[in-house]
Amino acid sequence: MAARPTWGGHLRLSLVSCPVSLFPATTTAHDVRFHLINPETGNRIRTRTFDAEGDEVERRDLVRGYEIEKDEYILLTDEEIKSVRLESTKTIDIERFVDAAEIDRIYWDNPYYLVPDGKAGADAFVVIRTAMEKSAKVALARVVMGTRERIVAIEPRGAGMLVTTLRTHDEVRGSDEYFEDVPKLKADAGMIEIAERIIAQKAGPFDPAEFKDRYEDALRALIESKRDGDGGGTRAPAPREDNVIDLMEALRRSLEGSSAKAPARVAAKAKTAAKAKAPSKTKPKAKPAPRKRAAAK
């Protein structure tokens, strides 16, 4: 079943516009989720709402409150909150283009796929996407999603585009208060050289398929084992606790470990390549002997 779009409207670049749809580029559907259960009855726990004096209240009768002092609130109804919502223009209006490197990675938030909505605007969509590919720029725009206006970055991706919401300046904490207590030390040149060699040995391409949530995998294995009735389970491997005091010794051991593994990997690849190129051991079929011509009478 195809996912439902999160947002629908138009993408506009100056006088060129086209109908588009936004779809979430990520999912949490595979996350392990739990409910609170009463083990004596097997029933799921239901939440009931009480005020500070212990009286039960209906959730539909509640209003929202903003705390201005301790235990003092400004009350707002849903109608009052709706009255200040931004009106959705249903348009992603591109305001400017920037280099992707100019956007600090800390501002990147949630990704969405942007696709043309129907064949009517596909031509304009392709024109905008292709022009962005050739310019190697990222577009900045505004869009109202739900009740919030979000700044988004738009970039070509395959046949479509990738729209990523950006955090605002107020949402990002400054690093000074966290980094100011980091000791200002000068690293040993020999240690740096060894660390650089370790980095070079461990360098390789990024393959997201290699990185899995081992905790989630262990949880699923535990659930499956209990479903099968053995009452057991698996446990995620505990992290190593090598308490190595000598930093230089730790670096050297790391380098030696990486060096020992590297020849094995190279040998395995060479063996695989040789096996692929090795000639077949099956003997070729013998060609039939040419027939002798009958002697002329």
CATH class of the 7-27+85-171 domain in this structure:
mainly beta
Q: 48-52, 53-57, 102-106 — which one is most confidently predicted on average?
A: 102-106
Q: Name which of 141, 143, 125, 122 is nearest 133 in CA terms.
A: 125
Which residues are within 8 A (CB) of 56 and not within 5 positions of it... i.e. 6 or more apart? 48, 49, 50
pLDDT at 261 over 80: no
Instruction: Note the pLDDT of residue 222.
Output: 82
Instruction: Note the pLDDT of residue 163.
Output: 97
pLDDT band at 242 (very low <50, low <70, confident <90, very high): low
Query: Which of 24-28, 201-205, 233-237, 279-283 shows the lowest per-residue confidence on average (mean pLDDT)?
Result: 279-283
Q: Report pLDDT digits (tens) over 28-38.
A: 888 888 889 98
Which residues are within 8 A (CB) of 10 and not within 5 positions of it... i.e. 6 or more apart? 17, 18, 19, 20, 90, 91, 92, 121
Instruction: Note the pLDDT of residue 88.
Output: 57
Q: What is the domain partition of the chain in residue ranges?
A: 7-27+85-171, 187-202+247-261
pLDDT band at 77 (very low <50, low <70, confident <90, very high): confident
* pTM for the full predicted model: 0.67
Tell me how far apart the alpha carbons of residues 156 and 136 are, in angstroms, rounded to a whole number.
Answer: 9
pLDDT band at 144 (very low <50, low <70, confident <90, very high): confident
Tell me how far apart the alpha carbons of residues 161 and 3 are, in angstroms, rounded to a whole number.
Answer: 17
Query: Which of 10-19, 86-95, 116-125, 271-280 shows the lowest per-residue confidence on average (mean pLDDT)?
Result: 271-280
Residue 224 CA, chain-centre distance (Å), reads 26
Instruction: Note the pLDDT of residue 268.
Output: 55
Task: Give percent helix, percent strand, percent coil of the chain, each to the nearest 5.
Answer: 35, 25, 40
pLDDT at 133 over 90: yes
pLDDT at 116 over 70: yes
Q: Pick the residue with more confidence: 295 or 178?
A: 178
When pLDDT is averaged across residues 144-161 and rounded to a whole number, the result is 90
Q: Report pLDDT digits (tens) over 178-220.
A: 999 998 888 889 999 999 999 998 888 888 787 777 777 888 7
pLDDT at 55 over 50: yes
Mean pLDDT across the chain: 81
Task: Extract the tokens encoding 144.
Answer: 């109202």
pLDDT at 127 over 60: yes
Q: Name which of 77, 74, 58 is nearest 66 in CA terms.
A: 74
Helix boundaries (H) for the chain: 78-83, 122-135, 176-179, 189-202, 214-227, 247-277
The Cα-based distances of 281 to 274, 275, 278, 284 in angstroms read: 14, 12, 9, 9
pLDDT at 10 over 50: yes
pLDDT at 291 over 80: no
